[in-house]
Amino acid sequence: MNVLLKAVVARTIALAVNGETMIRKLLQKIKEKISSRQEHTNRFLKFYYAHHRRLLKERRSTYYTKREKGICVRCSRKSLAGIIFCSYHQKMQKGYNQKARAK
């Protein structure tokens, strides 16, 4: 009798744990549906928020491939030796840095 009682208790605990995970998954799906229905100011933001994870991965991968090939990471020109930018973007970056340090 004692073994039967332990088995029943173990099964109810397992069901409770599985039930919690199922409830969590359902709540997560509901949250995703609600967030996907959010109003965005324009179609570009809507696209960005729908695909931002994939876009970030693509951006990171192209950065590293361009850096290894010696191409400017902001355009397609040849980069300077030891620097990730071409001469134009390096000049622009110096200006950005001066403005940022002046604050």
DSSP string, 34-95: HHHT---SSHHHHHHHHHHHHHHHHHHHHHHHHHHHTB-SSSSSBPPTT-SS-HHHHHHHHH
* pLDDT for 88 beyond 50: yes
- Mean of pLDDT values over 72-94: 93
- Which distant-in-sequence residues (6+ apart) come within 8 Å of 86 by Cβ? 72, 74, 75, 77, 78, 79, 80
* pLDDT for 48 beyond 60: yes
CA 71 to chain centre: 25
pTM beyond cutoff 0.95: no
- Beta partners for 73? none
Quick one: pLDDT band at residue 84, thresholds 50, 70, 90? very high
At 11 the pLDDT is 55
